[in-house]
Amino acid sequence: MNMQTLHSLLQDVQSGNCSIERALAHLRNFPGESVPDACLDHQRLIRTGIPEVIYGASKTAEQIVSIAEAMLKRGGPVIATRVEREKAEILLQKLPHFHYAGAARMLICNPAAEDPTRYLGRTLVISAGTSDIPVAEEARLTLESLGHPVDKLYDAGVAGIHRLLSRQQLLQQAKVIIVVAGMEGALPSVVGGLVSCPVIAVPTSVGYGASFGGIAALLGMLNSCAPGLAVVNIDNGFGAACMAEAINRK
């Protein structure tokens, strides 16, 4: 409902092509529609370029099913994140068209085909260690489901910096880089010092003791002295993918 459509609507009211009641209905009902326990934001894809995604962690199986079914009617990819395996197995019985990606804890239906023409370039997802792969996969699969061209480079942490330096060509080719790291979270700083594209840093909760569930990595990334770097929430692979999509989409 931008200035142009508002202008058109007003013109239609003025010309009599649209009754006052119908105009009011447009203005009143447009952005949201209430269903039990949720209010679907049909307009989000138009406004933000990214469809609504189901955050599965604190929803019941019933809530996820009813929201997913409503979204399926709308068309396009449907994604649910943070769905534990037990819950996923219950859901797959009611949502047989979905695929469950266990490492990333995601349920996906109707993924888009990769469409490089809609993007400025490719996104590269790097993980510091093997333990960080679930979060990296959440980012990679979200992008893949949206049709975003995406590469990966896993287990390339700073304690063996040569592993990263030997792959500089891959770094240089990316339009966006997502770096996923736990423990000290130093990898994004090193990557950020090597490339000119934007770097999205994702701290993970991998670690123990003074990692404090990812706080150490988060603080490390926020304090990075490398330019062109921003941070998302701990373990938020999905959010990093959304940022990459917003940057890279033409």
Contacts 24+ apart (CB under 8 A), 40-47: 40/67, 40/70, 40/71, 42/74, 43/1, 45/76
Question: Minimum CB separation from a copy of itself for residue 225, in Å?
Answer: 5
Question: Minimum CB separation from a copy of itself for residue 47, in Å?
Answer: 6
Nearer to a copy of itself, 109 or 128 (CB): 128
Question: Minimum CB separation from a copy of itself for residue 70, in Å?
Answer: 12
13 and 20 in contact (C-beta within 8 Å)? Answer: yes
Question: Minimum CB separation from a copy of itself for residue 49, in Å?
Answer: 4
Nearer to a copy of itself, 90 or 230 (CB): 230
Question: Minimum CB separation from a copy of itself for residue 62, in Å?
Answer: 11
Tokens representing 55 are 């955050």
- Tell which residue, 133, 99, 9, 108, has the closest CA to residue 54: 108
Backbone angles phi, psi at 127, to 5 degrees: -115, 145
Place of tokens 């370039």: 121
Nearer to a copy of itself, 34 or 96 (CB): 34
Neighbour count for residue 223 (Cβ, 10 Å): 10
User: What H or E segment, with its residue span, contains residue 150?
Assistant: strand 150-153
The DSSP result for 9-22, as a single string, is HHHHHHHTSS-HHH
Nearer to a copy of itself, 107 or 216 (CB): 216
Question: Minimum CB separation from a copy of itself for residue 31, in Å?
Answer: 3
The DSSP result for 40-96, as a single string, is E-TTHHHHHSS---EE-TTS-HHHHHHHHHHHHHH-S-EEEES--HHHHHHHHHH-T
Question: Minimum CB separation from a copy of itself for residue 176, in Å?
Answer: 8
Nearer to a copy of itself, 95 or 248 (CB): 248
Backbone angles phi, psi at 245, to 5 degrees: -60, -45
220 and 151 in contact (C-beta within 8 Å)? Answer: no
Q: Which residues pair with 249 in a beta bridge?
A: 119
Nearer to a copy of itself, 14 or 96 (CB): 14
Nearer to a copy of itself, 96 or 210 (CB): 210
